[in-house]
Amino acid sequence: MGVAAEQGRIGVLLINLGTPDAPEAGAVRRYLKEFLSDPRVVEIPQLIWQPILRGLVLTTRPAKSAHAYQQVWRPDGSPLAAFTRGQAAALADAFGPGVIVDHAMRYGSPAIADRVRALKDAGCDRILLAPLYPQYCAATTATANDAAFAALGALRWQPAVRTLPPYYDDPAYIAALRAGVEAGLAALDFAPQAIVASFHGMPQRTADLGDPYHRQCLETARLLGAALGRDLVTSFQSRFGRAKWLEPATDATLRGLPARGISRVAVIAPGFSVDCLETLEEVAMQGRDAFLAAGGEHFAYLPCLNDSPVGVDMLKKLLRRELEGWLAPL
């Protein structure tokens, strides 16, 4: 651990995907419009995609998604927003008084551009951008950095900038996942026959074009399985649209397990830094229903690292490493 060097303050900006401001159709529509208009997310020419988005998607999906958000919404907001705020708060004093830890969302609020400017106005002449995606994908890590770089492009006096690299195979990350899974398993009243590691899906085209996301997900699952001493069943969730996506799909995997004699299952989501709609509603609720309807008997969803002490300690290690040379030794 160190203290900030004398020449200025240091900013650490935790970045996550984003969330609607409220579990209501109007708020969800605004969020989806921003999210699905990002060419990093939907790689279809905008002249073709925008009429589809505005004429079909934004007229049908917001009400359904709002209902899903209502199932997981907390008194302090969406789980993704609440846990990300919790991570930033837990890291507030981790690196000394000259380091400001803040958070932003790629879509929605607090906006990346607003928080970059706030850090600069607070005297930060160095900023570490920390997209909280263990596995690199252009649709997540790259677009978060894009938004930050665009904000920096509007500044006459730019701070020096670093970005947190993907940490899908980092020993600290794998150890934290192992600790979280083992604690979750110990709290269950049954012994799972299988552990399913569900990662967010991406179109197969992204892998074909050279995106490393698929390979990095598989490597995370391999390393975590080795750490736990058991193989994991790897799958991909949250398919959208008609294009071919990464397989096997999580919903199909869960429906198929009982026919293979697996009636007790635990599901984890190691690609998500915090729990959100996709883990709490899609997996913990819809996935559970699909598994039990197919003949399963016991289902458990084990939470993400979130703002747990284990998860925060892991982030401290990763961020401190990236801040080396900016933090003066004690």
**pLDDT of 6 strictly over 50:** no
Q: Is 24 annotated as a binding residue?
A: no
pLDDT tens-digit series, residues 122-152: 999 999 999 999 999 999 999 999 999 999 9
Residue 310 φ then ψ, to 5°: -65, -45
Query: CATH number of the domain at 171-301, please?
Result: 3.40.50.1400
CA distance 19 to 32: 9
CB of 10 closer than 8 Å to CB of 327: yes
> Is the pTM here over 0.85, yes or no?
yes
pLDDT tens-digit series, residues 275-310: 999 999 999 999 999 999 999 999 999 999 999 999
Q: How confident is the model at residue 330 (pLDDT cuts 50, 70, 90)?
A: low
What is the predicted pLDDT for the residue at 7? Answer: 53
**pLDDT of 321 strictly over 70:** yes
**pLDDT of 3 strictly over 60:** no
Average pLDDT over residues 147-175: 97
Residues of the chain with CATH 3.40.50.1400: 2-167+309-329, 171-301
CB of 102 closer than 8 Å to CB of 12: yes
DSSP string covering 198-261: EEE--BHHHHHTT--HHHHHHHHHHHHHHHHTS--EEEEE---SSS-BSSSBHHHHHHHTGGGT
Q: Is 281 annotated as a binding residue?
A: no
What is the predicted pLDDT for the residue at 123? Answer: 96
Q: How confident is the model at residue 41 (pLDDT cuts 50, 70, 90)?
A: very high
Give the class (CATH, top level) of 2-167+309-329: alpha beta
DSSP string covering 101-163: EEEEEEESSSBHHHHHHHHHHTTEEEEEEEE--SS--IIIIIHHHHHHHHHHHT-SSPPEEEE
What is the percentage of the chain residues whose pLDDT exceeds 90? 95
